[in-house]
Amino acid sequence: MHEATESVTVLDTGLEKTVSETHPQKPQQKKLLSVSAVVFVYGMMIVCVGLAEAIGNVEFFFGKTRIVLFPIIWALLVGVIISFAHRSMRGQAENSLRLQRIASLFIQSGIYFFVIKISFNIGKDLPVLYRAGWALAFQEVGHFVGPLVALPLALVLGIKREAVGATFSIGREVSIAIVSERYGMNSPEGRGVMAEYIIGTIFGAVFIATLAGFISGLDWFKPTSLAMGAGVGSGSMMAAAMAAIAAHHPEAEAQIVSFAGAANILTTAVGTYFIMFLALPMTNWLYNRLEPVLGRRKADDGWAETAEETKPSAAGEKPDSPPVWEMFATMTVCGVTLLFSNWIATGFSPAETIAVFAIMAALILVGYVLQRLLSFLHIPLLIWMTTAAVLAASPISPVAGYILKTSASVGVMPLATPVLAFAGLSLVKDLPVLKNLGWRIVAVSLAANAGTFIFGTILAEIFH
């Protein structure tokens, strides 16, 4: 087995010391991060978010399909540029690597506000989901087809554990949160889910619009079935697919929008639990069965993997996670940053949104306390947080009206911008791996998206 040894600088009650650690898969350390390093990463995140929100949405047309590049793309790119420039400075290579690892740890804590906002929407739409019927319920099974189609392809192409992160779900922000908590973003699975998210964000809308337009032109499926299939993707992918479907069926445009929206609501609500408890375990099970057969490659083909890369991340172990103080420090910094980035994106001032951010932070704390008190249940923090937020915004909650009214002033996309900034700041260290994956990870990502969309459409056609 190939082992790696690295030196990590930590801070304990103000005294720096060096700890040499040996690990087979990912660092197994309890990080006590230096104040200067943490402040530097926070500062660079704020710069990335500020520039990204200042650039705003950039729109262009690909044929008849309108493509929108959101600030999350610019935050990612600015983060990569800053990280690459810092690494290129004389004598900063080792320090840059350390700061990138710190940034990758912050992704997990930074995404909590986004998850809470999504959960508010789920709670509000619970009656809609109840009335949705079996057609929408069964189309969730389409999540199984992504791994069934894309994972064997990934293994044949020589991709190893990155394939699990890249294929268990298609590009949604919640997928990053799940992998971050389960494996850590410094793991092969973390690299895989980030690669899939980037590919899906940049190319996914164009690809799914082209595919949806082609299938619509065949007249094999009802437009509403195609709309439900489109709803299993991210918001940008759904919008692109809806436009392509509506171009072929203009008479059904209102129904297309309605059914796609309902499917997207269901995917957001049920999909979080579905992919965490069913799709991800199934993908791991499938990987363990198929990798010994499809994953064998000769060392001279240029795609050979090391033992470190083929070994699964310890599914039962706690990933390389930040300490508790860092979690709350990151939440605080992200919360303050989001007050102003949301102001730029939506026009609502910090004075108008500080109350809802306080509520979000309180629900995150509730989830954390529940996880600690009921740790013997081994339920992930993400589930506790989402459940608490869904119940708080559901019709049975006495405070639902106030929560939904105040949270309406907070946009969904601005909440993801700090997460992509942290991702960009941490990405340079993984560029050699991503470069090696190259076109293969692109093919796998698009195959997962195609499989999920097509099978979701088929199920909707059968049960609708």
CB 110 within 8 A of CB 422: yes
H-assigned helices in 111-204: 112-124, 126-130, 134-138, 142-156, 162-167, 173-182, 188-199
Tokens encoding 402 = 């106030």
Domain that holds residue 375: 33-307+321-463
Residues 1 and 114 in one domain: no
Residues 2 and 130 in one domain: no
Residues 113 and 19 in one domain: no
Tokens encoding 375 = 């740790």
H-assigned helices in 394-430: 400-407, 413-427
| Nearest of 208, 166, 211 to residue 67 by alpha carbon | 208
Q: State the pLDDT at residue 268.
A: 66
CB 39 within 8 A of CB 382: no
Q: Would you say residue 312 lies in a domain?
A: no
Backbone angles phi, psi at 183, to 5 degrees: -115, -25
pLDDT tens digits along 29-41: 444 367 788 888 8
CB 34 within 8 A of CB 11: yes
Q: Would you say residue 315 lies in a domain?
A: no
Q: Would you say residue 152 lies in a domain?
A: yes
pLDDT tens digits along 364-415: 888 888 888 887 877 777 788 888 888 998 889 999 899 988 888 888 778 8
Q: Would you say residue 110 lies in a domain?
A: yes
Residues 335 and 422 in one domain: yes
CA distance 198 to 399: 37
The residue type at 289: R
Tokens encoding 264 = 């997207």
Residues 25 and 89 in one domain: no
Residues 237 and 143 in one domain: yes
Q: State the pLDDT at residue 95.
A: 79
Better pLDDT: 264 or 158: 158
Q: Which 8-state DSSP code applies to residue 270?
A: H
Q: Would you say residue 164 lies in a domain?
A: yes
Residues 9 and 48 in one domain: no
CB 105 within 8 A of CB 194: no
CA distance 391 to 403: 11
pLDDT tens digits along 158-211: 888 888 888 887 766 677 777 877 787 778 888 888 787 777 766 776 777 778
CA distance 123 to 404: 9
CA distance 456 to 448: 12
CA distance 116 to 123: 10
CB burial string 41-74: b at 16+ within 10 A, e below? bbebbbbbbbbbbebeeeeeeeeebebebbbbbb
Please report where in the chains the tokens 């800053």 appear, as a residue: 82
Residues 20 and 92 in one domain: no
CA distance 70 to 359: 26
CA distance 125 to 129: 6
Query: What pTM value is reported for the model?
Result: 0.68
Over its C-alpha atoms, the chain yields an Rg (Å, rounded) of: 22
pLDDT tens digits along 207-235: 777 787 788 777 788 887 888 777 766 66
Residues 12 and 115 in one domain: no
- The most distant pair of C-alpha atoms in the chain lies apart, rounded to whole Å, by 70
Tokens encoding 122 = 């789920």
Residues 20 and 135 in one domain: no
Residues 382 and 346 in one domain: yes
Q: State the pLDDT at residue 202.
A: 67
CA distance 40 to 37: 5
> If you count them, how many residues does the chain have?
464
6-20, 175-189, 298-312: least confidently modelled range: 6-20
Tokens encoding 290 = 């198929």
Q: Looking at the 3D structure of the chain, how many domains does it have?
A: 2
Residues 13 and 129 in one domain: no
Q: Would you say residue 291 lies in a domain?
A: yes
Q: Would you say residue 314 lies in a domain?
A: no
CA distance 192 to 170: 11
Q: Would you say residue 241 lies in a domain?
A: yes
